[in-house]
A and B are shown apart, each in its own frame.
Chain A
């Protein structure tokens, strides 16, 4: 990219400059002996064309909307449409959450994102003994199609995009959404949204797995296959690094493990007989926006380039859409502090800015009070306003990939790509992501990083304002949201009534059908749709699957 003799000239000049710098350092040492990113990439004082000597612009960057998509997945990015402002929300029962959805849409939010409670995520009904105390706590309680009907009351399914954080029972919840659309006369082709449906990271980091890997992968490929035929605008999976990062990984590990999981899904789908260019365009991703600003931006850019190459070179994809890494971003919950909570607003703003400069397709900004509880309405609205300032006021959305070509950013992007590829090669050697997870490789790498991170906080190497530096004594408590304890009883009552009023013969028949089909290789999605339409509950359906598939037991490693 640069002329050879000019580079030589620059090199000489830099050597001389380095000597001058060294002299001043004798008198005024720097703040730290060495500077590192969060992924332990050693940083130089300055980056110049000398750091990009063999940099081939066309090969590494190209243009936005074109291979290898380093600069973004659309030709004009946010000049056309801003990132979707999508706040993750859900608590209590469907009635309360429906109200919050309407509130968020009125505030200018542009997409919905549903948080389900833990019993729903684990396939237990609200009246299951293990659901005690958990109903409606971290998300909305959904037992049957009836709850889903209430949840989306007054919301036009053909006009909003809906993202649903559901993994093990993803096919069942998706089936409820489809059954609801059918009831309202909306064609499937008009539905657009995302199910998380990413079981591998559940084993690694998030913990809401039910079944063992093999049948879990089958449920996922069943969804890919069904959606390929009937849901042209639905993102069939959101392969997530977010939770891997929250569990303590570095930025490099976040991308490496996520893309390794992605490879495993593509492999599984191809093995199930699907055509790569049929399903790959509907794969989507989900990343974390953490504190180390430039590393985060470079991380997003590197992820796009690595995935594009994997799809093209490893899987022989021909459709450019198969090579595009489209992603949602959420700011890093684990960086929020309980101390001086308003400072979290500033952390979130910078993290959101990095996601925007990294070219995210949608964004969730965390609320400042999330170290204490689910966010209050006030805290959520500040979080949404932060995105709006980013999108509308400060001009960062007016040109594509504004930091592209910066010596430092390109150096970091290359470096992250290199380290990500090293991990992917290691995981391949272990036999792929599923194997690496079963052996605890990813989990241990993440735990090591998490422990290092904590040690750095404790020895003061990593500054956390309000926690180990600039500490305030006697802070005023902030006002928190209060969850209503009556949700569990209400939900149990609703279930009891439902079980009395529905056609139980029909439920039994469809569950029997499911039991048999689960033992064959038949696609289960159409049966799930029949089951939810008969008002079979999430718990009942999952129990049938538990009988056939068994349950996954975590290997406890420490």
Chain B
């Protein structure tokens, strides 16, 4: 079997324009051999899920630094369930206080990465948790 490349959607949800982190991560994942699609800033949960399904990705990495993570991140996972695409691994990062982690994980966000995360750790996490899709 040929090992298919891991496909990742790097996404920015909400209204904040901080894209340094997501772009650095996207580049690092590319350098680690993954295929990465970057959405650009200010995407809605609906747009993100649509692109994810269209592009048939294995992973969605969402960056948010606006503080609206409690409203917007659960919406992404909810829409994925609705589209029966909840086998896609969803991880999030940005300025997110620790006390919100538990709720986000309950909603289906597999892991929350905050400021100071090494890209190496993220790559390892993706490889260990990914469900390869047919």
The answer to whether B95 touches A371 (Cβ under 8 A) is yes
B34 within 8 Å of A (CB atoms): no
In the A-B complex, list the 9 residue pairs whose CB atoms are closest, starting with the nearest.
Answer: A207-B17, A133-B71, A133-B68, A137-B67, A118-B15, A556-B40, A371-B115, A338-B115, A558-B38
Closest residue to A554 on the B side, CB-wise?
A: B40
Of the candidates A137, A206, A247, A372, which one forms a contact with B66 in the assembled complex, judged by CB atoms under 8 Å apart?
Answer: A137
B36 within 8 Å of A (CB atoms): yes
Of the candidates B44, B95, B118, which one forms a contact with A372 in the assembled complex, judged by CB atoms under 8 Å apart?
Answer: B95
Of the candidates B36, B70, B97, B99, which one forms a contact with A558 in the assembled complex, judged by CB atoms under 8 Å apart?
Answer: B36
The answer to whether B38 touches A207 (Cβ under 8 A) is no
Of the candidates A138, A247, A248, A458, which one forms a contact with B120 in the assembled complex, judged by CB atoms under 8 Å apart?
Answer: A458
Q: Which residues of A contact B (CB under 8 A)?
A: 118-119, 121-122, 130-134, 137-138, 202, 205-208, 246-248, 334, 336-339, 371-374, 447, 450-451, 454, 457-458, 464, 467-468, 477, 480, 483, 554, 556, 558
- Docked complex: B15-37 residues within 8 A CB-CB of A: 15-20, 23-24, 26-28, 36
When distances are taken between beta carbons in the complex, the residues of chain B under 8 Å from A119 are 15
Of the candidates A202, A338, A373, A556, which one forms a contact with B17 in the assembled complex, judged by CB atoms under 8 Å apart?
Answer: A202
Show 27 A/B contacts (Cβ-Cβ < 8 Å), sorted by A.
A122-B15, A132-B71, A132-B72, A133-B68, A134-B66, A134-B68, A137-B68, A207-B18, A207-B41, A336-B115, A337-B115, A337-B116, A338-B115, A339-B116, A371-B95, A371-B115, A371-B116, A372-B97, A373-B97, A447-B27, A457-B118, A458-B120, A464-B116, A480-B99, A558-B26, A558-B36, A558-B38
- Within the complex, the shortest CB–CB distance from B87 to chain A, in Å, comes to 26
Contacts A132-B71, A134-B14; is A450 near B97 (CB within 8 Å)?
no
The answer to whether A338 touches B23 (Cβ under 8 A) is no
Contacts A133-B70, A137-B67, A554-B41; is A207 near B20 (CB within 8 Å)?
no
B98 within 8 Å of A (CB atoms): yes
When distances are taken between beta carbons in the complex, the residues of chain B under 8 Å from A372 are 95, 97-98
When distances are taken between beta carbons in the complex, the residues of chain A under 8 Å from B67 are 134, 137-138, 373-374, 483
- Docked complex: B43-92 residues within 8 A CB-CB of A: 44, 66-68, 70-72
When distances are taken between beta carbons in the complex, the residues of chain B under 8 Å from A480 are 97, 99
